[in-house]
Structures are given as structure tokens and as C-alpha cells.
Amino acid sequence: MDEIKWGLIGPLLALQALLAVIGLISLGKAERTRGPKWLWVIILIFGNLLGSVAYFTVGRKDN
Amino acid sequence: MPLLTVANLRKVYGGHTPVDGISFEIEAGKCVALLGPNGAGKTTTLRMLAGLLKPTSGQISFDGSPGGDYRKRIGYLPQSPAFYNWMSGQEYVVFAAKLCGISSKEAAGLAADVLEHVGLRDAGRRKIAGYSGGMKQRLGLAQALIHRPRLLLLDEPVSALDPIGRREVMELLRGIREETTVIFSTHVLHDAEEICDDIILMNQGLIAEHGALSRLRSQYSIPVIRLTTEREEKAQRWLEDLAHRSFVEQSEVSSGSATLNVKNVELARQIILQEAGSLDIPLLQFEAGSSTLEDLFMKVVGA
Amino acid sequence: MRNMWTLYHKEMLESLRSYKLIWVPVVFIILGIMQPLTTYYMPEILKASGNVPPGMLEGYEMPGSAVVMAQALGQYGTIGMLILVLGVMNSLAGERSSGTVEMLMAKPVAPAAIVSAKWAAQLTVLVMALGLGAAGAAYYTEQLMGPLSWSNLAAAAGLYGLWLLCAVSLTLLFSAWLRGPAAAFLGLLAAAAMSLAHSLLPSQLGWTPASLTAMSAEMMTEGGGFAWGPVLFAGILIVACVAAASLLIRRNQLPE
């Protein structure tokens, strides 16, 4: 393992970013969230995988 | 043959009995109000008619056949209709149509018609999440009408609406009742009188009174004369004098007005109007032979 | 049957609009490819974290590709299951509490059609997520560790998916008569209890669906170890859950 294999790590980072972007789009459209929206923005941007999962599972209020 | 026949319908829930043995028939083409105070058993009755609740005992016959699943031929609108807010109004109506066995192609056409009918043509493309209470109620009517049901069951369709929403829905119902048989529940007598032929008055799970509105109105109307005059001493003395005439059975006189229960409206009217003329009484209002359904309603309800 | 298709279509449309159809598979892919990546870079990670006892890094031996792949599938047993269970918890409970089920049931629709359509939609999400996740993990494993048997992988992923489907079906059942969070809690509890019982009495409880995870790992690493018992019982459990949920939703459909 002489060097970092960006060809493999790159897609991982891209998927993480994709998840955060989808979360932000969804947050923008959501009428109601559990907790303040700005907090979810921070969680989505800096919270990595678990932050995004937390938003999608418990962050939104249905209907 | 009646469209709907209900015999000894009963529902027991744990300790109490919201519907305690009711029987009635509904002819095709009628508009019937299920009238009663909150807790009278109206919603439970409608839910049993809609096939959502299994009766504890008793029988419902639709179109002559007892039992059976007739949900395809009825439309039902619950008291507070809940929709999928992520759908558009148009999508919901198409969804409802497909569930009734209508093909997608046909459903799209029917949805456009019915949305136009309830005044949601332009709003149909928007998400239901943004609808007002009146719009949701009209969408509820649209989903109940989409498959051209023979019987429409509406649970308190206007109770939760503001005056404008109420007016819109009442106007729609006036049109709908020309095309299909309607049963709707309400706790407001005025709503029933506005559009219905028949009323079924329920209280504590039982039918207290049932029949054509016109028959009930004459049956329960006591000959009454109501008078209002200017507040003058002369007029007041005359009103008090009237209360002691032989043709008056019961009276209630306050300053400037009187309510007289009389034996014979025609005779009483003649005498009173003549006297008012000859004595030069400053009459403001005169009303004869009023209906007292409201009184009947209040008596049944026990308020 | 046509009603079921209409209801299934509605469920899938909701999954799409709520982005569930995208985010769940993406999370599964990330979980899957993280396992081979962290395994591959483990020495670097340990070195970077400092205070590693001397000599430990020299003894580090890269596990074989099949072992890493089995571990990747194992990732879905925790966070993966949690995501799926949280995704199903409101499917029936939400329709009951909001009241949407009342108008649904006033249409000529069988309760079994409603429940089956929801179950099928959950299955679709599960298959997409697990399929893409396992494929991603396998690709990374092959790139970093070495070749894999794709037929073993397919069998192993299928067995693991069946176990996840058991947890999803149990949650769906609880969702027919409890509130969403309670349904999720009981669903996870039931799955955990089955796993615990199985790990305590592996020989007596070898027939339970809980042994599917071990069977999946063995299938991946050894290419064998298949037994009909757990598969059959998982099938029975799933069918029973859907049937019971249909009966319950008929009774619990109305808001008081």
C-alpha cells in the first residue's frame, strides 16, 4: 500500500456528498422538521454518513 | 324497492353502545340528513354503512341484497378526511378511481371532470399539503364521486369549515343531490333543512324521529304568532292586552315583542292585524305559523 | 390483484418522492464499500492513531477476500437493519394515525392487498439496497484483496436479505397495531432476541431464521453450509407477519 488509491476512495467521498446534497434538497422542500432546520443543515454538511442517515430517518415529519 | 334498508343495526364497543338498534329505509334519489348532537351515534352508523365497521348485530341491505360488499357502489367521505400530502389532488383522485377498478386511461378523464366539478381544476396539480380545509373537503367529495356511486355517505361534511368553505360545499351538495342518493350527518338542523328531503334524528344511539322534512315540519309546528313593535307605551299595553285574549293559549311578552301560541292562526292573524290598524300600533314585524323543528331538536337532544 | 398493483405503485411513488429509493441504497453502498476499504487501510489507520504497540503492525495479515466480503454483509445486520426497520415502522402506523386508511378501506380494497403492497414495496427497497451494496462491496473487495466467487456472493447476499426481510416483516406487523416508534423498537427487539437465543443455543435453535446470518457468512467463505430449515422458517414467519398484519389492520383501521 504505497499510495492512496483515489480511484476507490473518490467514489466513496462522492457518495457521501451525494447523500448530503439529497438531504439538503429534501430539507429545502420539507415543511416541517424535528428540530430547527439550520441544525439539520449543519448535521447534513458535517455529520458524514450518520448525520445524513439521522436526517432521513428521524429528521423529517411526515405529512 | 329502497336503495338501502337498515334493520336493527347495533354496535357495541367494549362498555358502551354507540348505536343501539336502528332501522330505516332510504329510497333512491333522496337526500337524507342524519341529524343529532355529538355522540348520538351518527359517525358509527355511517362507518357501518360504509363497510368500515362490522355491526354487532342487525342487517344492512344495499339494493335489495343483504350483506355483501357494496363498497364499489358507494362513495364515503369521513369527518376529517386525511390525504397523502405528498400527492397532488389530481393524483389522489386518479388513485381513488383505480382502486374502484377503473382503468388508468379512463381514470385520468374522470378525474379531470370531477375536479372541474368541485372547483379544483387548477389546484389539482398542486400538492395536497398546501390545500385549505375547504379544498380538502372538496377533494374528499371528488374522491367519493369519481366512480359514480349510487349512494354517497358524508360524515359532517361542513362542520369543520369556515363560512366560505361551508357555503362552497353546500352549493356542491345541492348539485350532487340531484344526481345521486345522499346521506349526510350533521349536528346543525339548519344544514339539514337547507338541502334535505328527509331527516333521521338520532340521539344516544337511537332514532328519535324520522321522516320527510315537510311532514315533520307540519307535525311539530304549533300555531305561533310573533310580533314586534316600536317601543312605545301604547304598543306595549296592547301587546300585554293581547296575551289575555281567549284565542291565545300561551304567551310570552317582553318589551316591544310578543310570542303567542294561538288556537287558530287565521283567526288570530285577522284580529291582530285589524286591531293594529285601527289602534294605529307601530308594528315592526309580524310572523305567523312558524315551524318549531328547532324546538323538537332541542327537546330530543335534551338540552 | 390490480388493486395491489395500484397500491404498490403508490408506495413506490412515495418512496421516490421522499428520496428513500435513493438514500437507502446509497447508504448501503457506502456501508458495503467501507468494509474492504477500512480493512485494506487498517495498518495506516492504526499507525495514524499513534500508540500502537510495537510489533503489532508486523503481525497484521490482510484477510482473504471472501472473509472481507462476509464482514461487509455483516455490516447490514446493524445499521442496515436499523435503517430498514425505521423505514417500515410508519408504513401502517402512519396511515392509521393520520386517518388516510379510512378512505382507503372505504374503497373496494382488501386489507391483505394494502399490507401486501406495503410489504412488496419494502422488499423492493431492500433488494435494491442490498443488491447494489453487495455489488459495490464485492467490486472493492476484488480490487483490493482478490477475486471472489460471485455465485457464492449471490447466495450469501440472498440469505442475508432473507434475515433482514424477517425483521422488516415483523416491524410491519407491529406497525399494524402500535405507533411507529414502538413498532420499530419491538421489531428490532424481536430480531435481537432471536439472534441472542440462537447464539446461546446454536445447536438447538439452528432452524430459526437467526442462523441465516451465520449461514450467509459460511456460504461466502466456504461455499457451503446451506440448510433448508432456517429458510423455510423465515418464509413461514414472513407470511405469518403479512397475514396477521392484514387481520389487525381490518380491526384497527379507524381513529377513535
Instruction: Identify the band that residue B217 occupies on the pLDDT scale cut at 50, 70 and 90.
Output: confident
pLDDT of residue B259: 85
pLDDT of residue B143: 95
Q: Which three cell numbers stand for residue B74?
A: 358507494
Q: Which amino acid is at C65?
A: S
Q: Which amino acid is at B45?
A: T
Residues 115-134 of B with CB under 8 A from A: 129
pLDDT of residue B214: 82
Average pLDDT, chain B: 89
Nearest CA in chain B to C17: B86
Whether residues C99 and B95 touch (CB distance < 8 A) is answered with: no
Q: What digits encode the pLDDT tens for the residues A18-63?
A: 999 999 999 988 878 888 889 999 999 988 899 999 999 888 876 4
Report the DSSP pairing between strands B224-229 and B283-288: antiparallel
Q: What digits encode the pLDDT tens for the residues C146-172?
A: 999 999 999 999 999 999 999 999 999
| Contact between residue B251 and residue B259 where contact means Cβ atoms under 8 Å apart | yes
Any A CB within 8 A of B80 CB: no
**Superfamily per CATH, domain B4-218:** P-loop containing nucleotide triphosphate hydrolases (3.40.50.300)
In DSSP terms, which residues pair with B184 in a beta bridge?
Answer: B33, B154
Residue B300: strand, helix, or coil: helix
Decide: residue C55, CB within 10 A, 0-12 exposed, 13-18 middle, 19+ buried.
Answer: exposed
Please tell me which chains touch A, using 3 or more CB pairs under 8 Å as the contact test: B, C
In DSSP terms, which residues pair with B270 in a beta bridge?
Answer: none
Average pLDDT over residues C193-197: 93
Half-sphere exposure of C3 (CA within 13 A, CB side): 17
Percent of chain B with pLDDT over 70: 98
Instruction: Identify the band that residue C37 occupies on the pLDDT scale cut at 50, 70 and 90.
Output: very high
Interface residues of C toward B, Cβ cutoff 8 Å, are 2-3, 6-7, 10, 13-14, 17-18, 98-100, 102-109, 253-254
CATH class of B222-301: alpha beta
Max mean pLDDT among B156-165, B255-264, C235-244 falls in: C235-244
Indicate if the alpha-carbon torsion angle C117, C119, C122, C123 is positive or negative.
Answer: negative
Q: Which three cell numbers stand for residue B249?
A: 293559549
Which residues of A fall within a CB distance of 8 Å from C19?
A: 22, 25-26, 56
User: Which residues make Cβ contacts (< 8 Å) with residue B108, sequence separation at least 6?
Assistant: B94
How many angstroms separate the CA of residue A38 from the nearest CA in chain B? Answer: 22
Of B76, B84, B101, the CB nearest to C100: B84
Q: Which amino acid is at C33?
A: I
Interface residues of C toward A, Cβ cutoff 8 Å, are 18-20, 22-23, 26-27, 29-31, 33-34, 37, 40-41, 43-44, 79, 83, 86-87, 90, 94, 98, 140, 143-144
- On the question of pLDDT at B280 being above 70, the answer is yes
| Contact between residue B48 and residue C105 where contact means Cβ atoms under 8 Å apart | no
- The number of distinct structural domains making up chain A is 1
pLDDT of residue A2: 53
Q: What digits encode the pLDDT tens for the residues C104-153?
A: 999 999 999 999 999 999 999 999 999 999 999 999 999 999 999 999 99
Q: Which three cell numbers stand for residue A48?
A: 458524514
| Contact between residue C152 and residue C162 where contact means Cβ atoms under 8 Å apart | no
Any C CB within 8 A of A12 CB: yes
Average pLDDT over residues B36-47: 91
Helix segments in C59-211, DSSP class H: 65-75, 81-98, 100-105, 111-144, 150-175, 180-200
Higher-scoring residue by pLDDT: C55, B143: B143
Q: Which three cell numbers stand for residue C23?
A: 438514500
- On the question of pLDDT at C17 being above 50, the answer is yes
Spatial CA neighbour of C35 closest among C141, C145, C112: C141
Whether residues A52 and C27 touch (CB distance < 8 A) is answered with: yes
Of C98, C106, C253, the CB nearest to B82: C98
Any A CB within 8 A of B85 CB: yes
Q: Which three cell numbers stand for residue B120?
A: 379544483
Residue A1 lies in a domain: no
Instruction: Identify the band that residue C73 occupies on the pLDDT scale cut at 50, 70 and 90.
Output: very high
Q: Which three cell numbers stand for residue A25?
A: 434538497
- For chain A, the first-to-last Cα distance in angstroms comes to 50
Average pLDDT over residues B61-85: 90
Residue A23 lies in a domain: yes
Instruction: List, in sequence order, every beta strand (DSSP E) within B158-295.
Output: 181-186, 198-203, 206-212, 224-229, 248-254, 257-262, 283-288
User: Where exactly does CATH 3.30.70.920 map onto chain B?
Assistant: 222-301
pLDDT of residue C252: 67
- On the question of pLDDT at B219 being above 80, the answer is no
- On the question of pLDDT at B171 being above 50, the answer is yes
Which residues of A fall within a CB distance of 8 Å from C132?
A: none
Instruction: Identify the band that residue C254 occupies on the pLDDT scale cut at 50, 70 and 90.
Output: low
| Contact between residue C175 and residue C91 where contact means Cβ atoms under 8 Å apart | yes
Q: Which three cell numbers stand for residue C155?
A: 447466495
Domain boundaries, chain C: 2-248
- On the question of pLDDT at C62 being above 90, the answer is no
Identify the domain containing residue A38 by its residue range. Answer: 6-59
Q: Which amino acid is at B201?
A: L
How many angstroms separate the CA of residue A10 from the nearest CA in chain B? Answer: 35
Whether residues C254 and B82 touch (CB distance < 8 A) is answered with: no
Average pLDDT over residues B4-16: 90
Residue A45 lies in a domain: yes
